[in-house]
Structure 1
């Protein structure tokens, strides 16, 4: 059997589109609250923006340079572009139907999304006042003719295109634009009614172009190539170069044009001519363009009852006391599973270290930290108080570069030693190390994670945190940070595994060891994406040896399960629900230890082109807890979809006489039970009940 046969692989881009379809399915799911359904449409839209800015832009570049084959499925860039366009044009019908269904249902609840033309006369008067007081001074009317060139439009710019005639000379047709700046809201709110801003501007176009009759107008939005190419080896100052790259992002080639449905043909041709966009990359919509802006409506606090019931993350023993985090970690390893368990102890760990007079050094990797990061503030305070602070700030964290740049400058100003990346690699590892003086010796503490040091995303992403003071981990942490700050072509860690040098070879070894066990072998792996062809071949070989393989892959999966004689022992599910599944947890039955957590997905970029960490879990109690998390996810029959051999996904159906199992809600109940029972001094009973809850599920 040729395991490199293209038929054995699902195309990476089409697999991603299937993932975004699963997001759209959550918007269609009537068991979800109405504003949650609207939120999933917003997420669907922002996902698609990034897909076009990065993936489609990349395919267009490959096509331009006549590169034919890009992946193990052997689809050419042109074939992929055609398939993407066909898929999205077809899915647009579902998107429209879903949006209008949600809008109609919201109106019954008293929350209205409607155009200016559909407002009653009283509300129109209020909107007219709003236009002249708040919009008229800010929006920019633009004439386009021989003396007025078509303006440059930044990435994701939103505007109106107009076709006009001079009232005095009706035979002369002119074209113009009205730019709607990003500082303005996408929707204008009057009580519980939201009006798309372009419909208000369209109703007042004659005020912007006096003496002209508006023949036709259409809203439109441009998407540009937003991938920055940086030759960092040639740069003296990486930050300066990145700032230049961010400016260039705004000028990238246009890869998509979104436009209002039913637009005048002359206006479409006018935009094609000036924007140099492929007509096949024009998407016309009946619904408001820029779906990500629907968050403005989702966040209406008056309708919070139309969202999921809020869950407050819990702080469980042993971190629920006033004791120092470091004093707890000194005596036992601690694992947290966010967002069910609070991220606050992670913030507290860094804050305590920044204030502790005995702490000598704090070292951290920072990938996506957020705008008002309490962790970075603590690092700045620590540096200002004279502690040795080392921060690896990844300036190439896509779409967070500007934010990371600001923090990097603040840290440098405070006296921290800031590293801006490793030439040729992104640093995606999540690790923090604290070194403390204890008499005449040093104590060290380490935090390892699957997710970013970002308290905001830690409330909606599922991730694993692991605290330890075990010597083998702290020594490897020191080696790792020495690798980041010094000269080292190849560093080998002894307990942890680091990519690009160790993780992939270790994974292949672990898979092969299970393969040798035949039908006794068992692999469970939870990740965001599975793309690496070498890993997929290894999994195929293990499946052919009758190893049981269960994969929980939220997003892209290029492996094709269920193929007779190749992958019939591989089962793949994806869970899309209330929280974004982000943790990477791997189980290999015959390995010792047999559970690992990692910052890395099984993709070439993570295993070969990024600095990542994978950590074995030696603590048996913690390993058991992680295994239970995997088991409950594998039993999910509410939010899980199964990947079929043809690349399609279908919802997992409950077996007859079996309860419905939503793994995310089960975890909420599990943690609530532990928390409430502990506060009633029935901790042991709570643990037994919680375990039973998981096992019965």
Structure 2
């Protein structure tokens, strides 16, 4: 086969971001939801530059060539990424200007340009400039006494071309205006000024209109917005440090806000000389300059969604439900002693998880609580319950992953709060991120103790649980609970890898377990029996897993993969992967569940997991996969997390062998997995 065996991970991730933008282009969706998808695509692209493009640039600087799944020349890869990103950015602004803004105007939601302000609106905005903008912005002249300042990551700035002399007789060519993050990027006009409908004005338009107020006595020849995106990776040698929390606190400000510049965005009317000046000062290559026809940060348009009360332009409200066994339950421990409960968020409420921790905190018979926390706000209900448990004399241990990207500062605050309350705080394992989602409660019952657990595919975060799809298992199974306790002992103490009975753990056994399960299906197919694999995850990259799937396909195993983001496997290649289909499903909620199904000759094995099939998850993180064994729960997981998504024609995309995605063709009425799951929870 002359074509590469694997698809490139960066290009694959960028293809996912393009599919998110396609949601904004989908005219069948409510209008304000389309605007939100545009904002999400912009935020995704920011992170893509901060992490992925920055990493490729780092490889070029260090002359590193990929040796794993991707063996691409990083220089050629960077050029390909730039080309695709430039096309995507053009599509974003074309969609905003030619489609969304006119469509919103048709619904009475206006974005007023400067040349469309009437006298009353102009007077109100001039007053807004005096009251709210002038007191908090600090124009910075650039001259020998005032060198070019440090520009923080993703902060809005304006560069102003000036003519004339100031009060001290100094001539100035350029000045900068940093815009504080506290200022809204969209100014909503009051009803009495807006006229009909709802009216917004971009802050950039306000600055442009009244920029002369910041430079009295000087002539403003031009004013142009710009924004810099920087490398935000935290480069820390964990083997050399003594205190991870202190080291992170010291690096966050410097590396995250002022890392190496990887992208410069400027308004499309910025003169070439000014753009070249910015590139020189910021040490940005000319190929990393992006001109945009609109605000340089589309993500800040997200405020429109909350500021406009138009339910008809949004997805219908829904209320998560409680599984039947938890309705009116006052004692969750008693419910779990009678059997396990499967939660499917956001369709099922996340409150049972919170309430379980609260009940444990207040119960005098509960002796200990242990929990992993990857992304959890310091003032969340979960954190409050753990604090209360410690104050009530429970033995509380929290394994907090400080290195969860972009949540490091929140996690440091959470760790400090729990530590002050008397919680034993552990930061995981040096060199391995703790990504497993586990809760263990030890309770005195009768003459001994009983343990209760929650295992999930998503974070203990009440807010994201409202719009991320995840599954969680509540259980009092003593064997499963013993496994969870062993993993916690491993994380908080020292020792060898522990033997587990039901859980499967990375980085020790999960990779081999998956290979063995794939091999089992392969052998069944070779024996003329039915081999079947359905796996759902956020990313697939591990080359050994991919090669095992290729071998299974060649043996006749029918394989369906539901992969939201990165997928380096090439499906449908003759002689290699003819029996593999890959689809990506996007919709109202962010698909986040990891569920693995192996046919097992008619006795299916189903696991939920915190781990994707990525190299980092299987080899450089602490992860767990947990079995879903009771038949009713197994059927529920197969139906809701897998089969519905294989039927989806509303938000599904198929990956072709060339690495491109195409929308699944809709025949008749489209079927949406997410809509069906919402309907399943409605009263009959």
1:31 maps to 28
* Cα distance in 2 for residues equivalent to 1:298 and 1:410: 33
Kept in 1, the 8 Å contact 2:90–2:292? The answer is no
Instruction: Tell me the SS of whatever aligns to 2:578.
Output: coil
1:178 maps to 177
Q: Which of residues 198, 214, 221 is equivalent to 2:220? A: 214
Q: Quote the offset at 1:173 in angstroms.
A: 6.0
Instruction: Tell me the SS of whatever aligns to 2:367.
Output: strand
* 2:16 maps to 1:19: yes
Q: Which of residues 372, 380, 385 is equivalent to 2:387? A: 380
Q: Quote the offset at 1:290 in angstroms.
A: 1.1
* 2:124 maps to 1:126: yes
1:155 maps to 153
2:500 maps to 493
* Cα distance in 2 for residues equivalent to 1:114 and 1:71: 51
1:619 maps to 630
Q: Quote the offset at 1:371 in angstroms.
A: 5.0
2:570 maps to 560
* Cα distance in 2 for residues equivalent to 1:364 and 1:92: 41
User: What's the C-alpha RMSD, in Å, of the aligned pairs?
Assistant: 1.6
* Cα distance in 1 for residues equivalent to 2:386 and 2:476: 20
* Cα distance in 2 for residues equivalent to 1:289 and 1:298: 19
Q: 1:25 to 1:236 in 2, by over 3 A?
A: same
* Cα distance in 1 for residues equivalent to 2:331 and 2:49: 47
Kept in 1, the 8 Å contact 2:539–2:565? The answer is yes
Instruction: Tell me the SS of whatever aligns to 1:80.
Output: helix
Instruction: Tell me the SS of whatever aligns to 2:160.
Output: strand
Instruction: Tell me the SS of whatever aligns to 1:396.
Output: coil
Q: Which of residues 233, 239, 246 is equivalent to 1:233? A: 239
Instruction: Tell me the SS of whatever aligns to 2:39.
Output: helix
Instruction: Tell me the SS of whatever aligns to 2:309.
Output: helix
Kept in 2, the 8 Å contact 1:396–1:426? The answer is yes
* Cα distance in 1 for residues equivalent to 2:377 and 2:315: 24
1:144 maps to 142
1:640 maps to 652
* Cα distance in 2 for residues equivalent to 1:493 and 1:43: 40
* Cα distance in 1 for residues equivalent to 2:417 and 2:93: 45
* Cα distance in 1 for residues equivalent to 2:171 and 2:421: 62
Q: Deviations over 1:513-561 (max 9, x none)?
A: 1011126101000000011111000000000111100000011111010
* Cα distance in 2 for residues equivalent to 1:545 and 1:288: 53
1:596 maps to 607
* 2:617 maps to 1:606: yes
1:693 maps to none
Kept in 1, the 8 Å contact 2:162–2:172? The answer is yes
Kept in 1, the 8 Å contact 2:596–2:606? The answer is yes
2:341 maps to 334
Give the TM-score normalised by the residue count of structure 1: 0.94
Which has the higher mean CA deviation after the structures are superposed, 391-400 or 149-158?
149-158
* Cα distance in 1 for residues equivalent to 2:94 and 2:67: 35
Structure 2 gaps of 5+ residues are: 191-197
* Cα distance in 2 for residues equivalent to 1:492 and 1:63: 42
* Cα distance in 2 for residues equivalent to 1:650 and 1:316: 36
1:525 maps to 535
Instruction: Tell me the SS of whatever aligns to 2:431.
Output: coil
* 2:89 maps to 1:92: yes
Q: Which of residues 406, 414, 424 is equivalent to 1:399? A: 406
* Alignment coverage as a number of residue pairs: 669
Kept in 2, the 8 Å contact 1:492–1:502? The answer is no
Kept in 1, the 8 Å contact 2:141–2:172? The answer is no
Q: Which of residues 359, 365, 368 is equivalent to 1:358? A: 365
Q: Quote the offset at 1:646 in angstroms.
A: 1.1
Q: Quote the offset at 1:372 in angstroms.
A: 3.1
* Cα distance in 2 for residues equivalent to 1:416 and 1:15: 42
* Cα distance in 2 for residues equivalent to 1:17 and 1:197: 30
Q: Which of residues 286, 302, 311 is equivalent to 2:309? A: 302
Instruction: Tell me the SS of whatever aligns to 1:233.
Output: coil
Give runs of aligned pairs for residues 56-95 of structure 1, distance below 5 A: 56-95=53-92
Q: Quote the offset at 1:292 in angstroms.
A: 1.4
Instruction: Tell me the SS of whatever aligns to 2:600.
Output: coil
2:194 maps to none
Q: Which of residues 110, 113, 128 is equivalent to 2:111? A: 113
Give runs of aligned pairs for residues 261-340 of structure 1, distance below 5 A: 261-340=268-347
Q: 1:194 to 1:70 in 2, by over 3 A?
A: farther
* Cα distance in 2 for residues equivalent to 1:347 and 1:578: 24
Q: Quote the offset at 1:125 in angstroms.
A: 0.6
Q: Deviations over 1:250-285 (max 9, x none)?
A: 221111111101211221122111100111111111
Q: Which of residues 86, 93, 102 is equivalent to 2:100? A: 102
Instruction: Tell me the SS of whatever aligns to 1:250.
Output: helix
Q: 1:244 to 1:6 in 2, by over 3 A?
A: farther
Instruction: Tell me the SS of whatever aligns to 2:347.
Output: coil
Kept in 2, the 8 Å contact 1:117–1:199? The answer is no
Give the TM-score normalised by the residue count of structure 2: 0.96
2:662 maps to 650
Q: Deviations over 1:335-388 (max 9, x none)?
A: 010001111111101011011111000000000113531001100010111100
2:487 maps to 480
Q: Quote the offset at 1:116 in angstroms.
A: 3.3
Kept in 2, the 8 Å contact 1:167–1:213? The answer is no
Instruction: Tell me the SS of whatever aligns to 2:258.
Output: coil
* Cα distance in 1 for residues equivalent to 2:627 and 2:410: 32
Kept in 2, the 8 Å contact 1:340–1:667? The answer is yes
Which has the higher mean CA deviation after the structures are superposed, 164-173 or 495-504?
164-173
* Cα distance in 2 for residues equivalent to 1:383 and 1:137: 45
Instruction: Tell me the SS of whatever aligns to 2:163.
Output: strand
Give runs of aligned pairs for residues 509-520 of structure 1, distance below 5 A: 509-518=516-525, 520=530
Which has the higher mean CA deviation after the structures are superposed, 492-501 or 607-616?
492-501
Instruction: Tell me the SS of whatever aligns to 2:662.
Output: strand
Structure 1 gaps of 5+ residues are: 678-697
Q: Deviations over 1:204-254 (max 9, x none)?
A: 121111121111221001111101012223222221111011022222111
Instruction: Tell me the SS of whatever aligns to 1:513.
Output: helix
Instruction: Tell me the SS of whatever aligns to 1:397.
Output: coil
Kept in 1, the 8 Å contact 2:450–2:478? The answer is no
Kept in 2, the 8 Å contact 1:6–1:74? The answer is no
* 2:645 maps to 1:660: no
Instruction: Tell me the SS of whatever aligns to 1:574.
Output: strand
Kept in 2, the 8 Å contact 1:165–1:171? The answer is no
Q: Quote the offset at 1:323 in angstroms.
A: 2.3
Q: Quote the offset at 1:68 in angstroms.
A: 2.1
Q: Quote the offset at 1:330 in angstroms.
A: 1.0
* Cα distance in 2 for residues equivalent to 1:654 and 1:52: 34
Give runs of aligned pairs for residues 427-446 of structure 1, distance below 5 A: 427-446=434-453
